[in-house]
Amino acid sequence: MERQQRLRIAIQKSGRLTDHSLDLLARCGLKYSRGKDQLMCYGENMPLDVLFVRDDDIPDLVQEDVCDLGLVGLNVIEEKRLAMAARGAQARFELIQRLDFGRCRLAIAVPDDFPYRDLSSLAGRRIATTYPHVLARFLRENSIEAEIVTLSGAVEIAPRLGRADVICDLVSTGSTLLANHLREVTTVLQSEAALIRTPVPLPDEKADWVRRLLVRIDGVQQVKESKYIMLHAPRSALPQIAKLLPGSESPTVIPLDGHGDKVAVHAVCRENVFWETLEALKAAGASALLVLPVEKMLP
C-alpha cells in the first residue's frame, strides 16, 4: 500500500553516476538520509524514495514497474533497447529527459601499433566490448564485418591479453586509453545520463510529483550555467549592451537617482559570463559590473 503512494527512483549504487544523481535530487529539494550500504533511502520531505542498484539493472527495474523512475546512462538504455529488439521484444521503459551529466562516448580504440586507416581497417578483426548490440548496429550501418567479443569488464586490456584486436568502450577524458596504449579512432555512440519512467500509468498524485520533479530538474539544469548580472550604464549604451549579454531575455532597466542619464541594468544570462564579455561590456560604457550565481529558477 505504502508503495502505491510513494514514488521510487532507481539510481546507481556506487559508480560514476552516483554523486551526480544524488546531487540532482538534492538540488530538486529532496531531503533524505542515507546510511552506509543501505539499499534504499526514504525521502523525508517528498513522497520519493531512492533505490540504489547496479546501473545495468535500472532499465529492467523500471520497465518491470519495480521503480517508477530511473537515472541511467543512454549507453545502458540503448544497449538494453537493442538487446530486447534482438529477442523480438520491445523495451517498455520511456525516456523522459536527458540530463547534463555522465557525459561520455562509446568509442572504438586501437592499439598504438594497429594499422588503422578508416573503418574498413576493422573488417575481419575481433572487437572487445561490453556493448555488443550497440556495436553490432554500428558495424551493420557501416557495412563492416567484424567479430564482436563480448566481455563483462576490463575491456581495455583485452588486446594485450590477445582476446581481441581492438576495443569498443566508454571514454570521457581518454586517460584510460592512453594508459593502455590505445588510440581512439571513431565514436559509436554519444552518451549522457537520462531519466526513464515506467510504462505503467501513475495514479494522479504520483503523476503530479513526477511533473513537479521534471520542472525542478529543468530549473536545476538551466541555472547550472546561469548568472545574474548587474551593471550601470548610460541609457544611450543600452542597445549595444543588450546585444552583449549572453543568452539573456530583455533586461530590467532601473533609473539611478541623481545620476542623470545613467541606469542600472539587471539581467539573467542563460550562459556563463566570461571576462571577455565583461571587458566588452565595459568598453561599451558599462561600469560597476557584478556577476552573481543563480541558485534556483522557475520559468
Three-state SS at 159? coil
**Rounded to 5 degrees, what angle do the CA atoms 166, 170, 175 make?**
85
Binding piece for Zn ion, criterion CB under 5 A, among 48-56, 112-120, 156-164, 249-257: 48-56
CA distance 74 to 82: 12
**Contact with Zn ion (CB under 5 A) among 6, 16, 56, 163:** 56
Is residue 5 exposed (0-12), middle (13-18) or buried (19+ Cβ within 10 Å)? exposed
Q: Are 250 and 240 spatial neighbours (Cβ–Cβ below 8 Å)?
A: no
C-beta nearest to ligand ATP: residue: 73
Residues 37-66 that bind ligand ATP (CB under 6 A): 54-56
Contacts of 172 (CB under 8 A, 6+ apart): 103, 104, 105
Residues 210 to 269 in contact with ligand ATP, rule: CB under 6 A = none
Whether the Cβ atoms of residue 266 and residue 254 lie closer than 8 Å to each other: yes
Regarding 60 and contact with Zn ion (CB under 5 A), the answer is no
Q: How far is the CB of 39 from Zn ion (least distance, A)?
A: 16
Question: Where does this chain touch ligand ATP (CB under 6 A) — which range of 8-16, 81-89, 113-121, 182-190?
Answer: 8-16
Collapsed DSSP state (helix, strand, coil) of residue 147:
strand
Q: How is residue 290 written as a grid cell?
A: 557584478
> What is the smallest separation between the CB atom of 22 and Zn ion, expressed in angstroms?
17
- Return the residue of 43, 59, 70, 73 that touches ligand ATP, per CB under 6 A: 73
The answer to whether 104 contacts ligand ATP (rule: CB under 6 A) is: yes
Looking at the Cβ atoms of 55 and 165, the one nearer to Zn ion is: 55
226 closest CA partner among 275, 155, 294 = 294
Decide which of ligand ATP, Zn ion, none touches 10; Cβ closer than 5 to 8 Å per partner kind: none
Applying CB under 5 A, the residues found at the interface with Zn ion are: 55-56
Applying CB under 6 A, the residues found at the interface with ligand ATP are: 12, 15-17, 54-56, 73, 75-76, 102, 104, 170-172, 191
